[in-house]
Amino acid sequence: MIILWTDALIYILMAVITLLFFSLRGKEHFVRPWKKISQSRTAMTALVFLVFFLFIGLLDSIHFRPSDSQNNDIISVLDYWASPIRLHQEKSYSAPFSAYLYSKELVMGADQMPYWGYPRLKYGGSHLDDVQAEIVGDILAKAWVGFIKGTGVVIILFYAYHWLWQRVFFRNKAVNTVFMTLFFLVAGSYMLVELSSYYHVMGTDKVGEDVFFQTIKSIRTGLVIGSLTTLIMLPLAIVFGILAGFFRGWVDDVIQYIYTTLNSIPGVLLIAASILMVQVYMANHQEQFTSLVARADMRLLFLCLILGVTSWTGLCRMLRAETLKLREMEYVQAAQALGVPPRVILYRHILPNVMHIVLISVVLDFSSLVLAEAVLSYVNIGVDPTTYSWGNMINGARLEMAREPVVWWSLAASLLFMFSLVLAANLFADSVRDAFDPRRVQS
């Protein structure tokens, strides 16, 4: 097993979230808002989508070097499971569910006479003898097989919920919505997986690589950008924001000067300069990066660092303003009068009362960071070109949209998956805001 830098940070983040969940599970002020969220059908539907994307991202974060590798290649568990899709590379473009290339070439006919036509694909639809007569029925039959398999998995999960979840945890009124969403995702996924063994369900790109494989591989990049950037941003925003609002004076002046100066620098220029420095460093120390995966992972990690350093100022301002209000509250004034040390006041009285702002800001910023990766990759200052990401797919689709005939499926696939993730994150963020924001709590 090989642990990359981003893999290690993802494991740490998951461990921290798990510890926080079990440590705060008995706190009424924490459980009550989450119970409210669990009763919202919209929130639970969005959460199922997010957990589904997270599961795929975690599978893609377990890396190893296969025993039969000849080039020291590093692959993930997702790569291993998707080997039939990953290794079935065609010559060039092909449309979704097509058995032919997208461009005409000289093809050798049955009579050994060349003619101008569309060659058959090497893998996609290669099992069909008569494509025109068999393809529709074959697609429907294989989709039905995948649907049955997905339905079986959902039924098993449904009975597991009734036997375990309802006896251990609180009952969820939105359980029917959860399982309807889960049924849609699992059944659809099994259908796509079943069809992908025989067809390129989302077509192929210029070099013949499966677009569906590229799209699901891009999920990890979006999740890493959204989660690790938040992990880097939170300590800076929380510490500086609370210190500036509580101590005021020269401490407040110094912190305000820092984030005001940082905000005065255009973020795109700062990111571009930082990425250029990383490229120069990696070019001068090639012995430290023995594979393309390690090289791309370092650039992705550094992009998260830069985005985290440039995006903490907004949350810092909000926490400073909230702390300025909280330090004038009676219980804080009483604690100061009784001689309680400032560090204890900050930990016991200030920090718990600003956590709702932190949580709301985290879930709201996640979707904006996913979109930021797409924009940065579009202007070639984002992740490494060899990294699978929706931004790189959109960037590559620029020339494809200008050719004749138009190659539209790469752009459509990346936009569809990115839209699903961002929409689910935004809907869940709205529910979290309504549940945790004290000003929105109804009496």
Residue 115 belongs to what H/E stretch?
A: strand 114-117
Q: Print pLDDT tens along the chain (443 aa).
A: 788 888 888 888 888 888 877 777 777 777 788 888 888 888 888 988 999 999 999 999 888 887 766 666 788 889 888 888 888 888 888 899 988 888 877 777 666 777 777 888 888 888 888 888 888 899 999 999 999 988 888 888 777 766 655 544 445 566 778 888 888 899 999 999 999 989 999 999 888 899 999 999 999 998 888 888 888 888 889 999 999 988 888 888 999 898 888 888 877 778 888 878 887 877 787 777 767 777 888 888 888 888 888 888 888 998 999 898 888 888 888 888 888 888 888 888 888 788 778 877 887 788 888 888 877 877 777 788 888 888 888 888 877 887 778 888 988 999 999 899 888 888 888 888 778 766 555 44
The domain that contains 256 carries what CATH number?
A: 1.10.3720.10
Tokens at residue 389, please? 């990401």
374 found inside a domain: yes
Range of the structural domain that residue 296 is part of:
214-440
Give pTM, 2 decimals: 0.85
CA–CA gap between residue 374 and residue 393 (Å, rounded): 9
427 found inside a domain: yes
1 found inside a domain: no
SS3 2: strand
394 found inside a domain: yes
195 found inside a domain: no
Q: How many domains does the chain have?
A: 1
306 found inside a domain: yes
Query: Which is nearest to 192 in space by CA: 215, 176, 208, 223?
Result: 215
357 found inside a domain: yes
List of residues 6+ apart from 116 with CB closer than 8 A: 104, 105, 106, 107
321 found inside a domain: yes
List of residues 6+ apart from 85 with CB closer than 8 A: 196, 197, 210, 212, 213
